[in-house]
Structure 1
Amino acid sequence: MGMKPGPSPKRSTQRRRRNKPDESATAPLVVATVRGTRVKPPSEDRTWHPIAKGWYRSLKESGESAFFEPSDWQAARLCAYAMTRMLREHEDNKTPLRAGMLDTIWSMMGDLLTTETSRRRARIELERAATDAESDPAVPATVTIMNQYRDQLGVDDVGVGS
């Protein structure tokens, strides 16, 4: 995915800058998409391990999943399958979890931007809506970085159809 090595960047609210960021290095890639069309995720496999099912189900409620394409959902299914294989082998054969497989699964999860660190490295921050977000967990998260990019470009709803 082209992520930078090293520690993950801080959230924008925690950063203090003394110099102006290089605009060419952080120029966003604007992709036209139709607002409001959300890809219906495939259902999980009933044979998956409970941890894999829980992770897959959590994706459906996560803010980044609003931008998932069918190929992203299939990548998530592959990740859940690999998770299941590793966890079942661990439970059935009483073998220790393999670090290489854990690293592969964690990398797959990062490629889907399902971890805070991977989103920070991609310069994407999710924020809960301000209206009673603490009391209502059903309030969807928004991707604020896209609005900031639009503001920087000085354009309203770039390539967005109705």
Structure 2
Amino acid sequence: MSYARPCAEPRGRPRPPARAPGWRRAARDARRCRPTKIPNADRTWHPIAKRLWDSLKESGQADFYQASDWALAYSLCEDLSFYKKSGKRSGQMLQTIYSAFERLLVAEGDRRRVRVELHEPEPEEQSAAVLAIADYKKDLGL
């Protein structure tokens, strides 16, 4: 018995999408981050939400956050604060909040899952010209 595939189903290996002229420049320009203003934490937040907010501002992935990321983080800290202050707590609500924080790559495990690794900045080394001048000065006794 033979089976005819529907016309909409691609046959063989799918073709990569066509790229518009200048796509390399657009991809390169997309890597540049726009400067963003980080909002202040709400003074009424639960201490754990405040600590999480402060740690987000200091962490390495904050260099890549845009205004929408900070807005989402602010909303999540607001939700976390409400959850921590409420008398009756729902495990489902906490799981939902933590799942949303995963999208911001807050924890190292979240970053590893998407293959993002943060490194400490490497110390700047002196250029060869500066080292050569220093050697000349030493040879001349200066």
Return the structure number with greater relative CO, CA threshold 8 A, min gap 6. Answer: 1
**RMSD in angstroms over aligned alpha carbons?**
2.1
Unaligned runs of 5+ in 2: 1-15, 17-26, 124-142
Task: State the partner residue of 1:121.
Answer: 113
Structure 1 residue 45 and structure 2 residue 42: aligned?
Answer: yes
Which one-letter code corresponds to 1:114 in the other structure? V
Is residue 105 from structure 1 mapped to residue 102 from structure 2 by the alignment? Answer: no
Give 1:77 deviation, angstroms. 0.6
What secondary structure sits across from 2:50 in the alignment?
Answer: helix
Please tell me the residue identity of whatever aligns with 2:62: S
1:87 to 84, 88, 103: 84
- Greater helix content: 2
**Which protein is bigger by CA-based radius of gyration?**
2
8 Å Cα contact 1:79/1:109 also seen in 2: yes
Q: Is the 8 A contact 1:38 1:66 kept in 2?
A: no
Mark the runs of 5 or more structure 1 residues left unpaired by the alignment. 1-23, 25-29, 132-162
Give the match's secondary structure for 1:126: coil
Q: Please state how far the C-alpha of 1:38 moved relative to its aligned partner.
A: 3.1
- How many residue pairs align between the two structures? 98
Q: Deviations over 1:53-79 (max 9, x none)?
A: 110111111111111111100000111
Task: Tell me the distance in 2 between the aligned counterparts of 1:116 and 1:126.
Answer: 9
2:74 to 77, 89, 102: 77
Paired residue type of 2:54: R
